[in-house]
Each structure stands twice: as structure tokens, then as C-alpha cells.
């Protein structure tokens, strides 16, 4: 059996994963990201051992370990080159981890791991597959012929940092007009807040009073209840997301395109208008069309993908 | 030896290509695109036989034939699915061609063929390689691990049809704001014409009187001679191209990115400011950078790429 670990800024989530990519047992511990990396790695290994024991396995039964990490990850050297939010700078994570568990360890960028997990779960072996996750940022992963596409330097697949608005908003990455500035949930919350100010009579203001804060659900729920301003926010946000999806489809013509992240739980409310825009704007007029759908694994994708990337050397 | 054919709307260009991708001898005949496709294919085969004879070979020495075609090409079935400008609709080009020359025939989209030709000539075996051609439109090709990336339906790599301006100019493809509407030579000519009207005293007006029409060179040459309006056109055009290059680099982090097409003959005048913008806006801050350079083969790229794609089954 295999261990998949999703190292996040808040929690270390891990699972025992079987050869079909199914989670047998899972758990998590706090990352406490301010600590020295050696303590974080020790806790990752302890969690892995505990979960293996919970599932009835010994440490020698662990055939491979996969770890998904934020930031810039050098997959070939098993190194976290730089991760701002867990304060890792050139940390030889694979080697450090092997001090605790002597098994092959594969390190993957967290977005790539999540993409691969979704691909294993719902990709149907697609020849080309793109996963876009709409969360705090806009992340992504590209799977070609069953392999994670990383670029020559392991820094590729940053689909949230292609621009859709020339000289638009300044992104955290320094570039202007990135898809992430318009299509992330962070951006949706901003867009919702702006519209609420313009329309103090909008139902969204009451919603926020009731729920304590603006969230990615505010506009979607108030739109469903018939609020005009909320419908405008929702339509404009979907237009931004669809622009990004459409661009990626004209570039890749992947067999499958999957949308994940918290907002993807809106399901058809999000998917149907995106599909409409994308198919209408598809450069490809004569060949079969990309299948566009919503992710299925959500938070488990990183655990499954990290483990299976280690197994399959994807 | 191998035959490479570049089927264009105006001319059929072809060459005898050796195993290293070098053109031994080449020639062309008019396409006369209004004709029935069977006549065009007959002329393609006759040109191939003539060039083989010119190079001292018999028809049996032809080990493989590669044909680059405009439009939507189904590489797996050897079919031109649809090509507007040569009026081909579901033409089984490979089978038809084999009626004249009995050798393996590979059909490739013309932009993919050109990309592969440049890759063979100057790609140094890059693990990932993107070619962007700035001409009447903005075309491109993506080479990953030595293989042409086509998408699952052979309609991929349309990098000119990713948008850079949300709700921008309407593209010939129907989508709004495509890179092609801003970074093609057609767009540069439009941008030059608009600026000339705004600035009747600009040197560009004299240049056009002298040369008979606006071209892609107008702004570049007048900028070099110190004309302020021309400098503005050139800077804005380069900004558009650089936005497209930057987007593709954040998505792919390819080992090499090559810019071709007529305007690429401007060399460093184009390349230096593009590199500056792209490296400043690169999401990748910690890993090696993509090498960005100008194409080398120009018009021969399609012939070389078509032939070598047939040889290497790329």
C-alpha cells in the first residue's frame, strides 16, 4: 500500500491509498508552519506511520510515499525549492522524509498532485487532461499521456497566471491581468463586496449580516433567490472563469477539462454557462469537443494524486 | 531520402530532405486553389518526383513523404478535415497521394509542421518547445518530448486564439480579444494605419508613399529612423506579442520558445524587449528560465518539418 500526504499551510493531511487510488484510511495534524522544517517532516512521518497502523499495516508494507507541497518543487531532486507559506527554502524533503520511512518518496507540486488525483479518479484515461482549481488562487495541472506535465524546470502549469485582461489588475505574482485576479474565489469575494457597496438594497447585504462575512457562496445563493445584483456578480464571475477555460481549450484541445476548488460545488450553476461560452468560442469547429466537468474528489485529490504519482512515477 | 511538402493557398513548396533534416533540393508550383483537390494532389506528386529526379534519386528511393496543410488535419487518418483556403472538406489526402507515390505519407497541420521543422533545426532536443509564428495570423506549435502535441482531436496548439483582451476585438474565429487580433502582422498593419491617420506628419506616411503600401516593416523602419509615432506603434505591438509569449511561458515553462514569421526578421529589435517583459513577468522566480529566440529556417520550416515528422513519426 501507499501513503499520500498533502502538506498545506494549515494542516498536514495524509491517507493510506490502495493500488486503485482509493483512500483506505486518512487523517490530519496541524502544520504549525512557523516551525523548523525538520519538525514538520517528523510529524508528517509520524502521521504516515499512525495511519498505516490504523489500517492494519506495518512500516515495511509502505511501498511508496507521495508528498504534495505548495510552492516551487523540484520533482527530479525531491526538493522543495521555495515555498513561501511553509517557509521552506531548498529543503531536500524526500531525503529528510526517508530518515523516518525507508521507501521511495516522490515530491510533487500540490496543484499537480490534486490534478493527478482527479485524473486517477475521473479521468477515464484521457489522452490529455487539464484540471483547474478555483480557490484562494487559480491553480492547475496538466496531464498528457498519463504523465504530469511540469515544464523543463518543474515550474509549469501555472494556468492561473496567464492573463485575460491586458494591463488589468496587478496579481500577487507581479504580472497584470492574470486569470487568478478575476476567477479565484478571492476575486469573487472582492467582486461581491464591490457590488454590495453599489447596491445597498441587494439581498447580498442581508446574507452577509446573517453569515458574518462575504464568501464565494454569497452571490451564487442570492442569485438563486432572485437578487438582480447577485445575478450580475455571478454572471460576470462565470464569464471570467469561462474566458480562462476557453483559452486553455484553444491551446490544448484536451480530451477532458475538469474544474475543482470550493466554488465547483455549485455544480451545474457554474458548469452549464461555462460550457455554453466555451463551446461557442471554441476554435475547433470540425473535430470532437473537449468534455468539461466538475471535480469529484475535492479535498482528497491531493492525497490520492500524491500517492499515485509516486506509484506510477507519473 | 524524404520528401517534405508545404501546401499553401498560393504555392505548393516541396523539397528533398536528408536524414538530418537538411534540404537537398527544393522547388514550387502554383496551387491554383480553385481547382478540384485531385488536380492539386497530382501536381504535388509530380513536383515531388521532379525534385527527387533533380537530386539524382528514383521514385523508389523515397522512404517517406510528409505534407503540411492549412486547416484542420486529422493526422491519425491522413485526412484534411476542413481547409477553407484550399477548399478541402474531408479529403483523404494521404491515400490520394499514395496513388502516385507508394511510400508512407504523413499529413500534418502546417503550423505544427513548421514548428517541428524549427525544432529539428534549432531545438537542441529541448524537452519542451513552443514555436509562435507572427504572420497573417498567429500560429503555433508545441513539441513535448520530441513529439508534436496535437490535442486529443488534432485541433490543438491554436495559441493565437487564446485571448489577451477581455471582450476585445472580434477575431475571424468568432471569439473576442484573441492574441491574433493584436500580435499578427495583419494587426500590426492595422495599428500602423490607425497611428498614421492620427499623425499625418509622421514619417510613416512618407514611407508608405514610397513603398506603395503599409507593411509590417513600416513602423519598425520609421522607429529606427527616429519617428516618435512609429516608436509608439512598435512598442505597443511588441507589448501585445510579449503578453502572448508571457502567458505561454507561465503555462508551459518550455525549455525553448521560438518566434517566427516575417516580422521575426526584425531580430533583436523584436526579441530584446520581448525577453525583458517576459522575464520580468515570469511566474517562475527560482528555477532556470526558458530560452527565447528567433526562428532560423523561415519559409523552409514547413518542408523540413513535414518531412521529418513523417520520418520520426513525431
Answer yes or no: do A155 and B284 touch at CB < 8 A: yes
Instruction: Kindly report the nearest CA distance between residue B275 and chain A, in angstroms.
Output: 14
Residue B103 DSSP class:
S
* pLDDT of res. A314: 78
CATH class, A2-116+300-312 region = alpha beta
pLDDT at B57 over 90: yes
**How far is B245 from B292, CA to CA, in rounded Å?**
9
A139: nearest CA in chain B?
A: B251
Tell me the residues of chain B between 264 and 303 that have a Cβ less than 8 Å away from chain A: 280-281, 283-290
pLDDT, chain B, mean: 96
By the CB < 8 Å criterion, does A172 face chain B?
no
Q: What order of strands is seen across the sheet that includes strand A64-69?
A: A23-30, A11-17, A2-7, A64-69, A105-109
Among the listed residues A87, A59, A232, A284, the one whose alpha carbon sits nearest the alpha carbon of residue B175: A284
- Write out pLDDT tens, residues B211-239: 999 999 999 999 999 999 999 999 999 99
Is residue B142 a contact partner of residue B149, using CB atoms and an 8 Å limit?
yes
Answer yes or no: do A250 and B161 touch at CB < 8 A: yes
* pLDDT of res. A87: 85
* pLDDT of res. A84: 83
- Write out pLDDT tens, residues B85-104: 788 999 999 999 999 999 99
Cell 529606427 locates to B224
- Write out pLDDT tens, residues B101-141: 999 999 999 999 999 999 999 999 999 999 999 999 999 99
What phi, psi does B257 have (nearest 5°)?
A: -130, 125
A-chain residues near B168 (CB < 8 A): 166
- Grid coordinates representing A289 are 469537443
Instruction: Kindly report the nearest CA distance between residue B225 and chain A, in angstroms.
Output: 29
Q: Rounded to an integer, what is the distance from CA A219 to the centroid of its chain?
A: 22
Q: What is the DSSP string of B118-161?
A: HHHHH-TT-SEEEEEEESSSEEEEEEETTEE---TTS----GGG
Which residue in the set B149, B159, B253 is minimally distant from A153, CB to CB?
Answer: B253
Residue A218 DSSP class:
H
Instruction: Kindly report the nearest CA distance between residue A282 and chain B, in angstroms.
Output: 8
* Phi-psi label, residue A193: left if phi above 0, alpha if psi -120 to 50, beta otherwise: alpha
B256-261 mean pLDDT: 97
By the CB < 8 Å criterion, does B153 face chain A?
yes
A245: nearest CA in chain B?
A: B162
- Write out pLDDT tens, residues B154-172: 999 999 999 999 999 999 9
Answer yes or no: do B74 and A287 touch at CB < 8 A: yes
* Phi-psi label, residue B17: left if phi above 0, alpha if psi -120 to 50, beta otherwise: beta
Q: How far apart are the first and last CA of chain A?
A: 17
A125: nearest CA in chain B?
A: B152
The sign of the CA dihedral A59, A63, A69, A74 is: positive
* pLDDT of res. A18: 96
* pLDDT of res. B226: 98
Is residue B278 a contact partner of residue B240, using CB atoms and an 8 Å limit?
no
By the CB < 8 Å criterion, does B246 face chain A?
yes
Answer yes or no: do A163 and B164 touch at CB < 8 A: yes
pLDDT tens, position by position, for chain A (314 residues)?
999 999 999 999 999 999 999 999 999 999 999 999 999 999 999 999 999 999 999 999 999 999 999 999 999 999 999 998 788 999 999 999 999 999 999 999 999 999 999 999 999 999 999 999 999 999 999 999 999 999 999 999 999 999 999 999 999 999 999 999 999 999 999 999 999 999 999 999 999 999 999 999 999 999 999 999 999 999 999 999 999 999 999 999 999 999 999 999 999 999 999 999 999 999 999 999 999 999 999 889 999 999 999 999 87
Which residue in the set B81, B168, B281 is minimally distant from A286, CB to CB?
Answer: B81
Instruction: Count Cβ neighbours within 10 Å for each residue of B237-264 and write b for 16 or more, e otherwise.
Output: bbbbbbbbbbbbbbbbbbbbbbbbbbbb
Instruction: Give the residue extent of every domain in chain B.
Output: 2-116+300-312
Q: What is the value of pTM for the model shown?
A: 0.96
By the CB < 8 Å criterion, does B162 face chain A?
yes
A81: nearest CA in chain B?
A: B286
Amino acid at each position: 500500500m501507499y501513503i499520500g500526504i498533502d502538506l498545506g499551510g494549515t494542516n498536514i493531511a495524509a491517507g493510506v491509498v490502495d493500488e486503485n487510488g482509493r483512500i483506505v484510511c486518512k487523517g490530519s495534524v496541524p502544520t504549525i508552519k512557523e516551525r523548523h522544517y525538520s519538525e514538520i517532516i517528523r510529524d508528517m512521518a509520524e502521521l504516515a506511520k499512525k495511519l498505516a497502523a490504523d489500517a492494519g499495516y506495518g512500516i515495511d508494507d509502505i511501498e511508496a510515499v507521495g508528498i504534495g507541497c505548495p510552492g516551487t518543487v523540484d520533482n527530479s531532486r525531491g526538493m522543495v525549492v521555495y515555498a513561501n507559506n511553509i517557509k521552506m527554502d531548498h529543503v531536500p524533503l524526500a531525503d529528510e522524509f526517508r530518515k523516518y520511512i525507508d521507501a521511495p518518496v516522490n515530491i510533487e507540486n500540490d496543484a499537480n498532485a490534486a490534478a493527478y488525483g482527479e485524473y486517477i479518479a475521473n479521468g477515464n484515461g484521457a489522452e490529455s487532461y487539464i484540471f483547474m482549481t478555483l480557490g484562494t488562487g487559480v491553480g492547475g495541472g496538466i496531464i498528457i499521456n498519463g504523465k504530469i506535465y511540469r515544464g523543463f524546470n518543474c515550474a509549469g502549469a501555472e494556468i492561473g497566471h496567464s492573463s485575460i485582461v491586458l494591463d488589468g489588475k496587478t496579481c500577487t505574482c507581479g504580472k497584470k491581468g492574470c486569470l487568478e485576479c478575476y476567477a479565484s474565489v478571492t476575486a469573487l469575494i472582492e467582486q461581491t463586496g464591490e457590488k454590495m457597496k453599489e447596491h445597498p438594497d441587494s439581498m447580498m447585504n442581508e446574507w452577509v449580516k446573517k453569515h458574518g462575512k462575504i464568501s464565494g457562496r454569497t452571490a451564487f445563493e442570492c442569485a438563486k433567490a432572485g437578487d438582480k445584483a447577485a445575478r450580475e456578480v455571478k454572471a460576470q464571475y462565470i464569464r471570467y472563469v469561462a474566458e480562462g477555460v476557453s483559452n486553455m481549450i484553444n491551446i490544448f484541445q484536451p480530451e477532458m477539462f475538469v474544474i475543482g476548488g470550493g466554488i465547483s460545488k455549485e455544480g451545474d450553476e457554474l458548469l452549464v454557462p461555462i460550457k455554453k461560452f466555451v463551446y461557442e468560442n471554441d476554435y475547433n469547429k470540425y473535430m470532437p469537443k473537449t468534455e468539461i466537468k466538475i471535480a469529484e474528489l475535492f479535498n482528497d485529490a491531493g492525497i490520492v494524486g500524491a500517492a499515485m504519482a509516486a506509484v506510477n512515477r507519473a
